Amino acid sequence: MAWNAGCSDIIVESDALSTVQIIAKVNNYSHPLFSLIQSCKKLINSEWNCCVNHVFREANKLADGLAHLGKNIEPGILFFEEPPPAVYSVFDGDFRGLTCLRSSPVLFSC
């Protein structure tokens, strides 16, 4: 989609740290997902500037909202002309640069 739109500088952000690590490190033919990983690497290494970064889910609320929305629709590719109503407030906050603090787990209590 980004390639077809003529984008040349791409930042891919994922809250799945293990996925980011696998794409960065796996070169083993025996890995069960080797073919998929190689397809991802081929896209990443195309004629554009592309990097894949890990971000916490709280920093990626729009993607998280779209993923939750995707649970209730038919499989396939879906393009939106405008943000769906279910994620509009998140989109608007992201557009305005609002931030969200990430809560950390309680390691001990007094």
pLDDT tens per residue across span 31-49? 899 999 999 999 898 888 9
Domain-located, residue 45: yes
106: confidence class by pLDDT, cuts 50, 70, 90: very low
Phi first, then psi, for residue 22 (nearest 5°) are -65, -45
Report the 10 Å Cβ neighbour count for 37: 19
Query: Does residue 98 have a pLDDT over 50?
Result: yes
For the chain, give the mean pLDDT. 82
104: confidence class by pLDDT, cuts 50, 70, 90: very low
User: pTM score, two decimals?
Assistant: 0.66
For residues 50 and 17, state if they share a domain: yes
105: confidence class by pLDDT, cuts 50, 70, 90: very low
* Cα–Cα distance for residue pair 66/80, rounded to 1 Å: 11
Q: Which tokens hold the place of 101?
A: 């603090």
For residues 43 and 77, state if they share a domain: no
For residues 46 and 62, state if they share a domain: no
Domain-located, residue 1: no
Q: Which domain holds residue 82?
A: 58-95
